[in-house]
Amino acid sequence: MYRTHTCGELRISDVGKEVTLSGWVQTVRDKGFMMWIDLRDRYGVTQLIFNEEVSSTDLLEQARSVGREFVIMVTGKVIERISKNDKIPTGDVEIEVSEFTVLNAAKLPPFTIDDDTDGGDDLRMKYRYLDLRRGPVQRNMMFRSNLAIETRKYLADQGFLEIETPFLIKSTPEGARDFVVPSRMNPGQFYALPQSPQTFKQILMVAGMDKYFQIVKCFRDEDLRADRQPEFTQIDCEMAFITQEQILNTFEGLTKYLFKTVSNIELPDFPRMQYDEAMRRFGSDKPDLRFGMEFAELNDVAQNKGFKVFDSVELVVGICAEGCAAYTRKQVDELTKWVQRPQIGAKGLVYVKYNEDGSFKSSVDKFFSAEDLKAWADKMGAKPGDLMLVLAGETDKTRKQLNELRLEMGRRLGLMKEGDFKPLWVIDFPLLEWDEETERFYAMHHPFTSPKKEDVDRMLNGDHETMKSLRADAYDLVINGVEIGGGSIRIHDRGLQEKNFQLLGFTEEEAEAQFGFLLGAFEYGAPPHGGIAFGFDRLCAVMNGQNSIRDFIAFPKNNMGRDMMIDAPSPVHGEQLEELNLELKEIKKEE
C-alpha cells in the first residue's frame, strides 16, 4: 500500500499513529543533525522529520539524496510539532520517519513549483504537468470539477437529461469560422467541429426530450484575443414548452445554487434590463454594475451654444467621475490621449471640473457659462469635487467609446471590488444587426432566434427599415461586466425560419442545403422551445474574480492557438494526406 493517509489529512488527534504517506518533495531543509522534508500531494503538505537520534544513518543518507519533486513513500509515527505552523491544516503535526523509499527520481524542474512561480507562460505551458502541480492551478482544477458536478446535480434535479451530441458535424454559421476535419471515406468532403450543439439540441426538443443539458466542448476558429480559446466548454441547455420567463428563472436558480454551494456566496435576485436601456445608460450590452457612473445625455443642454464640435453631432454624452475635480492638467491630458488611442478612437475629450468651491473649470469655458455647466452637472448628478468627462459624435460609436472610458475610470478609482458580484439579465436584444460595410443583416444572436411575438407580423410583412427595429426573445446573463451566457426562444415554424434565413441573405437552395434537416424537422410537430448556454470556463474565472479563462483549463492553447506541451498543430505525413485525398499547397514563408 502506498499510503494510509493523504498529505493533507493528519491532525493533532492522529498523534501516535503509525502512517504511510506518498507524494512529491516540496522542500528539503537540512540542519545536519536534523532534517525536514515537506511532502506534497493534491490534498496538502505534511512535514517529515528525520532525526539522527531516531533514524538510522542509512535512512538519513537516503533522505539526503532526494531533491525537489522526487516521488517518495515514507512510513513513520505522527508526533506533535514543537513549532507549529498555523498556515496549513496539518501544521500541528509531523511524521518521524522510520522507513523511506524513493519511488521515482526527478530532474530539477525548469521553474519553481510554488504558489508564486518564476516560470514564464510558454515554459509553464510546455511543462504543464509541472505547472498543474502548483497550488493555485490545482485549486482552480478542483473548483472547476466542483462546479461541473454541482451543475449536473442541479440540472438533473430539475429533470434535465444529459445527452451527448456529435463532434463531427456539418458547418453551422454562428459568426465564427469552423474547424474542419477531412473525411477519408468520403473523398473531398469535410466534417466541421461544432461551434455549439445548437441545431442538435433543437432537434432533441422536436424529438420530445423536453429538457436537455450537456457540459460540452465547442470549437471556434477565431483570431485569438486575450480571453478566447479555440476550444472551450459550455453548459448547454434546451427546454420545450417553455417561456423566456421560465428559462430566466431556471438559470438564475442554477447560478445562485452554484455560487452558494461552490463559493458560499448568496446572490440577490438578478435585475433585468432591456438591451436599449443598457446601451443608453452604459453604452454596453454587458454593463458592469459594481459601480454607477451612468451616462448622461447632454444634447439639449450642450448643443446650440456656439461650440461647433457639439452642434452637428448625433450625441453628446458624459459621465461623472466622483471626487476627481482635483485632477491635474497632466492627468486630464493623459486621459484625453487614452480615449484618442486607436483602440478607443475618440476625437477628443471635453472635461469639466466642478470645483469644491462651486466654480467650474473646463476645456470649453469659451463656449459655456457657469450656468450652462451647472445644467450639465445637474444632468449627471455631479457635485462639487467631481470631474465630468464628455464625448460627442455618432451615437453607437460614442457610446462604445464612453463605455471604455467608464470602465477605465472604474478600474482607476478602484470601483470594481473583489468579492462583489453584480449579476444582470440583459433582455430584448435586436433580432438583426445591419452591417453597413457588407450591406447585409447578421443575426444578433444566431439564425434560430425567434422574434418577439408582437414583432412576427412586422417581420413577415415589413419593409427593410422595419427589420432593423425587430426585437428578439433573446437574453444574456452578465456578471460584473462579463457575458456569462446567452440564449433565446427559438423559431419552431418552418415558414418563419425560412423568412429569417432569407433576411440573412440565404437563397432558398442554400438554406435547404445547410439546414434542410432542421426545416424538415419543424414540419413534424416541433414544440415551442428555447434555451441558453453558459460559458463554463468563463463562469469559473468570474466566480474567482479572475480575468483569464486559461487558468481554469487543464491544457489550454496559447495566443497562437498552439498547445505547447504536445506541440500542436503539426504537419502530417504525405501518406496521411494522400489517404485523405488532400494536397498541400506550398506555403510561402512571409518575407
Residues binding ligand ASP (CB under 6 A): 196, 198, 446, 486-488, 531-533
Radius of gyration of the chain (CA): 30
Distance CA 234, CA 529 (A): 19
Cβ closer to ligand ASP: 409 or 518? 518
Distance CA 187, CA 578 (A): 10
User: Cβ of residue 536: shortest distance to ligand ASP, in angstroms?
Assistant: 12
User: Cβ of residue 455: shortest distance to ligand ASP, in angstroms?
Assistant: 18
User: Cβ of residue 487: shortest distance to ligand ASP, in angstroms?
Assistant: 4
Question: Which residues, in sequence order, are CB contacts of 200 under 8 Å at separation 6+?
Answer: 165, 166, 169, 194
Cβ closer to ligand ASP: 379 or 490? 490
Distance CA 58, CA 61 (A): 5
Cβ closer to ligand ASP: 398 or 488? 488
Distance CA 363, CA 368 (A): 10
User: Cβ of residue 203: shortest distance to ligand ASP, in angstroms?
Assistant: 13
User: Cβ of residue 548: shortest distance to ligand ASP, in angstroms?
Assistant: 21
Cβ closer to ligand ASP: 380 or 533? 533
Cβ closer to ligand ASP: 480 or 488? 488
Peptide bond into 110 cis (omega under 30): no
C-alpha cell of residue 483: 457575458
The neighbouring-strand residues paired with 442 are 433
> If DSSP codes are grouped into helix, strand and coil, which group holds residue 181?
strand
Does residue 550 contact residue 521 with C-beta atoms inside 8 Å? Answer: no
Does residue 78 contact residue 19 with C-beta atoms inside 8 Å? Answer: yes
User: Cβ of residue 525: shortest distance to ligand ASP, in angstroms?
Assistant: 21
Cβ closer to ligand ASP: 219 or 368? 219
Cβ closer to ligand ASP: 44 or 531? 531
Helix (H) or strand (E) holding 494: helix 494-503
Helix (H) or strand (E) holding 389: strand 387-393
Alpha-helical regions (H) of 46-197: 57-64, 121-126, 128-131, 135-157
C-alpha cell of residue 87: 498556515
User: Cβ of residue 258: shortest distance to ligand ASP, in angstroms?
Assistant: 18
User: Cβ of residue 541: shortest distance to ligand ASP, in angstroms?
Assistant: 17
Cβ closer to ligand ASP: 481 or 487? 487
Distance CA 220, CA 573 (A): 25
Give a three-class secondary structure readout of 216-228: EEEECCCCCCCCC
